Structure 1
């Protein structure tokens, strides 16, 4: 019976991702973000459950990636599609046409958001056949990238001001974020994983520091903290990797 517990948790990630897709399509970004956060929570604890119960399996690995493809691959692609729609035409109307615009380029451009979904699929496929990504990652993990993309509409909602709105709803900024995140997903950057084999501070000092700094940033900056946390994650991983190579 216990061998099914991690897979059940992973399936809750699938369910969370499916619900998030529905809300993202409806442009209800707060609820979409809520279920993405919930899915990422399940994504973290299914692996922990498998390790604690000693029931790791190939099925669990494949199921985990399929769940991530929905929650952390498809949903951020839809969110970026919606943001690009807003930036060029004012949104997607009920007739299935973009904001009444007659400009074919403006009608097609939002679909560029699905480059994130494509890059996520490629990254997850590579991860499944790479036996070296156990205690670290090569390229930004899909959940981290999903959080970055989901933070953009949340910043618009909870930190709204003319300056931030003009940046986030700038078409070129959104295209830049799309291309950058797609690249980082499949880059050769070596990044530490938040996987604890034990609770020792000595063995997990970087992880504990990252968690503390992230908590402080979230308390002080709220949703603006998410891009800052990702930048800190990249910087800390680069410094850690460089230091380990010189020791």
Structure 2
């Protein structure tokens, strides 16, 4: 047995385990630990591909395994957390609307399946990647817990706004919106990487200023910046 070939798959399975642990914590309403374990899973998701390329052992099995692991960590976990958030704030007889939280799971599933066969997404993304969407959703109960803003509090306990977030999430995961890659080009000069470096700098500032609330702001900023880049700069560089 080729040991090197099993390293990326083992990391992928650890990503899956992280998603399962996150679900256990979410079941107990420990959203902070759920968020941490989803972050660990996303971190592992990056490195399984890294080691597959490093050892030159990329395989169709690894590709499918990666999507199945992401389905739990970045699909089921955020869907379940949103289900709980809506359920905790939805009064009778409308409690069944909480199941709309799993629209996030369905949208993630469709995106992951489509990503495997979409040859346009080798260097950049079309639609929001599932890990970014998962971070957005998992950060919401933490923003709710730690915010001092009455406006944010009212927004995040409003079940109808949460339903809207579910619909928007499922849409943006699969929307035909090109999003720029965060990979820094090898020459590492400003001209070639100004978009990525500018985004990273502003993201650090947002996270430093707003802590957990900075996470959804960073994701929203990423989408908006990509749209602006597509509209005004990408075509000009052709």
Q: TM-score, normalised by structure 2?
A: 0.92
Mean CA deviation greater in 58-67 or 42-51 = 42-51
Question: What's 1:118 paired with?
Answer: 106
Question: What's 2:126 paired with?
Answer: 138
SS of the residue corresponding to residue 246 of structure 1 reads: coil
User: What's the CA shift for 1:25?
Assistant: 1.7
- In structure 2, which of residues 127, 133, 143 is the aligned counterpart of residue 155 of structure 1? 143
Structure 1 unpaired stretches of 5+: 90-100
Measure, in 2, the Cα distance between the counterparts of 1:163 and 1:213.
Answer: 24
Question: What's 1:19 paired with?
Answer: 21
Question: What's 1:220 paired with?
Answer: 209
From the superposition, tell whether residues 51 and 195 of structure 1 become closer, same or farther in structure 2 (CA, over 3 Å).
farther
User: Does 1:181 pair with 2:169?
Assistant: yes
User: What's the CA shift for 1:135?
Assistant: 0.9
User: Does 1:80 pair with 2:70?
Assistant: no
User: Does 1:3 pair with 2:5?
Assistant: yes
- In structure 2, which of residues 38, 53, 56 is the aligned counterpart of residue 54 of structure 1? 56
Measure, in 2, the Cα distance between the counterparts of 1:65 and 1:203.
Answer: 31
Alignment: residue pair count: 233
User: Does 1:166 pair with 2:154?
Assistant: yes
Measure, in 1, the Cα distance between the counterparts of 2:184 and 2:47.
Answer: 11
Structure 2 unpaired stretches of 5+: none
Measure, in 1, the Cα distance between the counterparts of 2:78 and 2:153.
Answer: 19
Measure, in 2, the Cα distance between the counterparts of 1:198 and 1:60.
Answer: 26
User: What's the CA shift for 1:237?
Assistant: 1.4
User: What's the CA shift for 1:206?
Assistant: 2.3
User: What's the CA shift for 1:127?
Assistant: 0.4
Q: What is the alpha-carbon root mean square deviation over aligned residues?
A: 1.6
Q: TM-score, normalised by structure 1?
A: 0.88
Question: What's 2:229 paired with?
Answer: 240
From the superposition, tell whether residues 136 and 78 of structure 1 become closer, same or farther in structure 2 (CA, over 3 Å).
same
